[in-house]
């Protein structure tokens, strides 16, 4: 079956489809003028003539362009229309796919996932400071750049806090698996809604599954609204039980009960890790120093259950969230 390609300007040559979403399709193309590969997002033809969707798509372009240039936000290069009048956005191409693609292989190792959460959290905080709520934070909207860092993308259903809401009262925009309870009810969203979604992403990165994963979208949305978060320690016993309290707050039903920001984040071996807007845990990855086991033996003295050498085992240290930022050490 032949592939239908959009009527892009000749500058964007050989467009090939690589993804599709609720509002449009994404193509990989070659910018013949600058000689680089780009991603081109074109409003879906089924929305042609729908003024509301055209306006929303153009609002995405403006919002994304205002944030473009930040270290971990996808760069926007051009905004225009096809020959048949469909708006399109030309943006940075991330050849390594998305965090969602990576999660298809299972949970992501903490030493890789923690920096990704840090980078996404920083950019969400920056957007919130400008009055922008993303409203669709999920692994598929976290793109992986050539240097293995994250680019936050698709502010397609974002709204500026000082503008009118993009949708009528009671309508819902977002992805069910990561949607805050207030968003699922069609109520106004806030930065706390993005922080809830980032906590869902963090849960999935560490366990390989969404916190309220169900067989249907309706059941999953209901679980977000009414059920307590599952024990992450129960699902992944290698993670410390103290993380249960962390995710209980990160996934709190009431926005005001969640952590206040998505950062600041600093994730380094043997140092505290700020993740998802809180002092979530002190993660220590120690491949050299033996750790005393619960039975009084050095945990480095035997191989672990999975048969890996003792030196490759993960060491976690968890602390409660402090009431304020840590005080700097005296010299």
Residues assigned a catalytic role: 136
Count CB atoms within 10 A of the CB of residue 149: 14
Report how far apart, in Å, the C-alpha atoms of 294 and of each of 137, 291, 297, 298, 299 are. Answer: 39, 10, 8, 9, 9
* 137, burial (CB in 10 Å: exposed 0-12, middle 13-18, buried 19+): buried
Encode 270-323 in three state secondary structure: CCCEEECCEEEEEEECCCCCCCECCCCCEHHHCCCCCCCCHHHCCEEECCCCCC
Count CB atoms within 10 A of the CB of residue 323: 6
Quote the CA–CA distance of 93 and 76 in Å, as a whole number.
10
Omega cis (within 30) before 264: yes
Q: Can you name the residues that pair with 84 across neighbouring β-strands?
A: none
CA torsion, ordered 282, 283, 284, 287, to nearest 10 deg:
170
Q: Can you name the residues that pair with 16 across neighbouring β-strands?
A: 28
Categorise residue 248: left if φ over 0, alpha if ψ from -120 to 50, beta otherwise: alpha
Quote the CA–CA distance of 53 and 44 in Å, as a whole number.
10
89 Cβ neighbours under 8 A, 6+ residues apart: 40, 41, 57, 60, 61, 64, 76, 78, 79
Q: Do strands 24-31 and 150-152 pair parallel, antiparallel, or not at all (unpaired)?
A: unpaired
């Amino acid at each position: 079956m032949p592939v239908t390609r959009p009527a892009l300007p000749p500058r964007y040559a050989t467009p090939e489809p690589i993804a599709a979403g609720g509002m449009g399709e994404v193509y990989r193309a070659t910018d013949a003028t600058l000689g680089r590969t780009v991603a081109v997002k074109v409003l879906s033809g089924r929305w042609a003539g729908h003024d509301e969707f055209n306006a929303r798509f153009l609002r995405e372009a403006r919002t994304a362009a205002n944030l473009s240039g930040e270290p971990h936000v996808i760069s926007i290069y051009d905004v225009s229309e096809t020959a048949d009048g469909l708006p399109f956005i030309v943006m940075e191409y991330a050849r390594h796919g998305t965090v969602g693609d990576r999660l298809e292989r299972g949970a992501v190792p903490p030493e890789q996932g923690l920096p990704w959460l840090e980078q996404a959290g920083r950019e969400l905080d920056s957007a919130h400071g400008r009055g922008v709520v993303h409203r669709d934070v999920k692994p598929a909207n976290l793109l992986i750049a050539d240097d293995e860092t994250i680019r936050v993308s698709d502010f397609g259903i974002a709204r500026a806090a000082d503008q009118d809401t993009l949708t009528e009262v009671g309508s819902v925009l977002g992805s069910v698996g990561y949607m805050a309870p207030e968003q699922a009810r069609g109520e106004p969203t806030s930065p706390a809604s993005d922080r809830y979604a980032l906590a869902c992403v963090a849960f999935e990165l560490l366990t390989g599954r969404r916190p309220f994963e169900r067989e249907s979208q309706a059941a999953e949305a209901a679980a977000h609204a009414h059920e307590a978060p599952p024990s992450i320690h129960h699902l992944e016993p290698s993670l410390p039980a103290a993380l249960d309290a962390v995710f209980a707050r990160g996934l709190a039903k009431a926005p005001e009960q969640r952590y206040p920001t998505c950062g600041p984040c600093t994730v380094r071996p043997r140092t505290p890790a700020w993740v998802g807007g809180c002092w979530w845990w002190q993660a220590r990855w120690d491949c050299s120093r033996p750790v005393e086991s619960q039975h009084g033996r050095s945990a480095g003295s035997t191989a672990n259950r999975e048969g890996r050498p003792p030196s490759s085992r993960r060491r976690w240290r968890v602390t409660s969230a402090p009431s304020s930022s840590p005080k700097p050490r005296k010299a």
